[in-house]
């Protein structure tokens, strides 16, 4: 019995950026984005625990949460929402130019995205500073006039932990984008190989999505009262 | 790469829609809708998140398995929040027996 000899396959074109365990860049790209999405799903649940805790306490102390939420700076919060969604637009454009292989436009839009991200963190920092001066930072110095001092402190614990964790993600996102921007500037990506730009973009957009939910839950409770 | 390239004007249109929805959610919060204020806020936020996911994050142009992943994530989030709330929301329904 003769064993059929398998015809030698022609070696695939090992283009730049292709890891040895993938057949081609398309397969590598699909695996990369699936992996990134699986990570983002764990992030949904990471923030989800806080959203669940928030839901319980908001349900238990609706009046106190409404009063405390009025202390959140609506103007700064709205400006920050616009800044962050704007940064998602510039991020989407950076990926767009990466697909077209326009190196300079990719770097320019990545820098613009980071500038908007830093602006968001600056406004957030100013808000934190105001809260600190108003003695609304949870702890022994917390002061909240009216009958809801304790429950309002609970609201501000949620406010600081949720926005703080979100801000931490922004800092990580800016770190990712700066790395990708340097590599893009050095010409490491092409219209064939740009997965790192797209995956960093997925992370950035995810952080935007978290804020889209945080904004109404923290800043907009019963504003009509 | 055979990746779908979205037109730039689509991104701008989505951005404008997100801006309109942001203004809408702030405006709706100033109207007294009773318990439906939170419903309106969450529905608008869900619409905004869906637009970001589908267009900015390219889910609309990605393999179906990506959508399945996201669906699984949302399902588990719904279980986490839903089952937790069934406990807390129903605790007051049954009075504690005397002596406890």
Is pLDDT of B66 > 60?
A: yes
Dump pLDDT digits (tens) for A1-58.
666 666 665 555 556 778 888 888 888 999 999 999 999 999 999 999 999 999 999 9
Which residue matches tokens 């994530």?
Answer: B73
Residue A201 neighbours by CB distance under 10 Å: 29
Contact A89, B12 (CB under 8 A): yes
User: Which member of B25, B57, B84 has the closest CB to residue A56?
Assistant: B84
Quote ipTM for the complex.
Answer: 0.92
Which range among A18-22, A134-138, B14-18, B23-27 shows the weakest confidence by mean pLDDT?
A: A18-22
A8 — alpha (psi -120 to 50), left (phi > 0) or beta?
beta
Domain assignments of chain A as residue spans, ordered by start: 50-219
Query: A188 by DSSP, 3-state: which?
Result: coil
Q: Is B74 helix (H, G, I), strand (E, B) or coil?
A: helix
- Report the chain A residue with the minimal C-alpha distance to residue B76: A45
Give the C-alpha distances (Å, rounded to integers) separating A44 from A41, A48, B73. 5, 6, 7
Q: Do residues A101 and B1 lie in contact, with contact meaning Cβ atoms separated by under 8 Å?
A: no
Tokens of B59: 């889910």
Question: For the segment B45-63, what is each residue's pLDDT rounded down to a tens digit?
Answer: 999 999 999 999 999 999 9
B8-29 vs B36-51: helix axis angle to the nearest 10? Answer: 170
Q: Tell me the chain B residues in contact with residue A15 when contact means C-beta distances shorter than 8 Å.
A: none
User: Do B23 and A186 touch, CB atoms closer than 8 A?
Assistant: no
| CATH architecture observed for domain A50-219 | Up-down Bundle (1.20)
Please tell me the predicted confidence (pLDDT) of residue B2: 47
Mean pLDDT, chain B, integer: 92
Q: What is the pLDDT of residue A51?
A: 97
Q: How far apart are CA A122 and CA A214, in angstroms?
A: 18
Q: Looking at chain B from residue 18 to 47, which residues have their Cβ under 8 Å from any Cβ of chain A?
A: 18-19, 22, 25-26, 29-32, 37-38, 41-42, 44-45
Domain ranges of chain B: 1-57, 63-91
CB A208 within 8 A of CB A225: no
């Amino acid at each position: 019995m003769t064993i059929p000899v398998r015809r030698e396959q022609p070696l695939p074109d090992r283009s730049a950026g292709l890891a040895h365990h993938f057949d081609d860049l398309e397969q590598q790209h699909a695996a990369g984005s699936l992996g990134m999405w699986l990570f983002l799903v764990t992030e949904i649940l990471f923030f989800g625990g806080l959203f669940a805790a928030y839901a319980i306490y908001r349900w238990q102390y609706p009046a106190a949460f409404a009063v405390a939420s009025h202390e959140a700076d609506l103007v700064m919060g709205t400006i920050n929402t616009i800044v962050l969604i704007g940064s998602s637009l510039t991020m989407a454009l950076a990926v767009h130019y990466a697909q077209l292989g326009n190196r300079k436009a990719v770097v320019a839009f990545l820098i613009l995205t980071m500038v908007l991200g830093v602006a968001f963190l600056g406004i957030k920092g100013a808000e934190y500073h105001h809260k600190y001066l108003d003695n609304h930072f949870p702890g022994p110095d917390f002061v909240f006039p009216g009958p809801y001092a304790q429950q309002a402190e609970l609201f501000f614990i949620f406010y600081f932990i949720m926005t703080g964790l979100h801000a931490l993600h922004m800092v990580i996102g800016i770190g990712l984008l700066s790395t990708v921007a340097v590599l893009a500037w050095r010409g490491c990506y092409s219209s064939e190989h740009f997965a790192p730009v797209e995956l960093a973009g997925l992370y950035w957009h995810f952080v935007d999505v978290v804020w889209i939910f945080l904004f109404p839950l923290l800043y907009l409770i019963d504003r009509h009262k | 790469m055979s990746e779908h390239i979205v037109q730039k004007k689509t991104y701008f249109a989505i951005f404008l829609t997100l801006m309109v929805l942001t203004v809408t959610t702030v405006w709706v919060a100033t109207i007294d809708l009773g318990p439906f204020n939170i419903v309106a806020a969450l529905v608008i936020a869900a619409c905004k998140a869906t637009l970001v996911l589908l267009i900015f994050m390219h889910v609309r142009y990605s393999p179906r398995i990506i959508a399945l992943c996201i669906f699984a994530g949302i399902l588990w989030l719904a279980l986490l929040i839903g089952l937790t709330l069934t406990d807390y929301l129903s605790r007051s329904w049954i009075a504690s027996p005397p002596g406890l």
